[in-house]
Amino acid sequence: MSAPLPPAAAPLRPGPRPPRWLALGALVPALLPVLLPVLLPVVLLGCDGRGAAEASALYQLEAALQQGDPAVVSEAARAAGALEGNDPALDLALARAFAGPLARPEQAWPLVNRRALPGDEVALRLLGRVALQVGSGALLDASDGGRRLPRLPPEHPALDWLGARAAADPTIDWQTALRAVEDCALLDSEPQRGRRPVDAPLPADFDEAARALGASRALVGRPRLESDPPPERGLGPMPCAAGLLLPGFPELPHRQLTVAARLPEGDVWLSVVSVEGEPWVASASDPAAARRWLEASSLGPVIAPAAPAP
C-alpha cells in the first residue's frame, strides 16, 4: 500500500504593496541638486527674515565665490547687484566679489564702508583689506578715528606696497599693515651717528638668538637703490621711509645691511657688511647689547669676551 500524498501547498498571495511615499523618497538624492537652490532660499527666508530674492542671490554669489572662477563670480554679482542695498550680508558678499576675483576694489569700497560696523570682526577685516587696495582716503574713513579700526598713517610708503599686493593675497589685512608700520618704525629709527665697532661674524640664527633674549622683533633692511620699483607696484621688498624691509637674510648679502632687534633693554642696530661673501657685523649702536645678542646664538659664541680694563 502506497504512502499518502502530502497535502497540496497553499497558493502564494501577493504581499502588501510598499507605500507610494517610500518609492518617491528614493528619488530625493537624485533631485537634491535641483531642489537645493530652490529650497535653501526659502529656509533662509524663514530663519532670518531675508527676502526670497536676496536669499537666492546670496546663495548663488556665495557658491560662485567658493568656486573662485571670475566669470562665474561676475555673473552672480551682476544678478546680486540689482538687489544692492537691500541686505547687509548680500552687500558684503558683493564687496568680497569686487575686492577679490573681480579686482574692482573701488566698487567694493562703498558697499563695505556702509555695512562694516564696530564689533563685526569679519566685516571689519574685509573693510581693512579693501581700504588698503583703494588708498589713503579710504584708510582714514576705514579707521573712523579709531572707532572701527586702529589708526594708520595714510601716507606711509608700506601701505601703497601692501595695497598693490592685497588683491592677489587674501592674507594681507589691517593687522598686516599695523605690523608693517611697526617694523618700519624700528628700521627707520636707526641712529646715523654714535655706532661703535664690533668686528664679528653674524650667526645664521641671529633672529632666534634675539627671540631667546626676549626680543619682540628682529628684522633685516637695506638702503633703497635706484633700480628698486616704486612702492605702488607692490614688487620687490617692502618699502619704509629710510630703506627697504627684507623678508629674510638674503643669500647674496648686499654691500650694506642693517639688522635690528627690539630687545627688552632697548632697540639695537647692527651694521652688517659682506666679508669674503660672509655677513660680518662691522659696528653696532650698542656694542654691549650686540655682544649679548650674538653670543646667545645656538651656534656657539662668536665674539671673544672683552678684555678687562687695565
Query: Of 11-15, 82-86, 125-129, 130-134, which gets the smallest average pLDDT?
Result: 11-15
pLDDT at 303: 43
User: Quick check: 243 pLDDT over 90?
Assistant: yes
Say how far apart CA 103 and CA 95 lie, in whole Å: 10
Domain boundaries, the chain: 44-155, 188-295
When pLDDT is averaged across residues 226-247 and rounded to a whole number, the result is 90
Say how far apart CA 181 and CA 239 lie, in whole Å: 10
User: Quick check: 84 pLDDT over 80?
Assistant: yes
Say how far apart CA 74 and CA 90 lie, in whole Å: 14
Say how far apart CA 114 and CA 155 lie, in whole Å: 24
Which has more confidence, 106 or 11? 106
Query: Of 57-61, 115-119, 302-306, which gets the smallest average pLDDT?
Result: 302-306
pLDDT band at 249 (very low <50, low <70, confident <90, very high): confident
Summarised one tens digit per residue, pLDDT across range 99-137 is: 999 999 999 999 999 999 999 999 999 999 999 999 878
Grid coordinates belonging to 214: 626676549
pLDDT band at 277 (very low <50, low <70, confident <90, very high): confident
pLDDT at 233: 87
Query: Of 8-12, 140-144, 182-186, which gets the smallest average pLDDT?
Result: 8-12
pLDDT at 166: 87
Summarised one tens digit per residue, pLDDT across range 163-219 is: 999 878 889 999 999 999 999 999 999 998 878 999 999 998 999 999 999 999 999
pLDDT band at 231 (very low <50, low <70, confident <90, very high): confident
Buried b (16+ CB within 10 A) or exposed e, 90-108: bbbbbbbbbbbbbebbebb
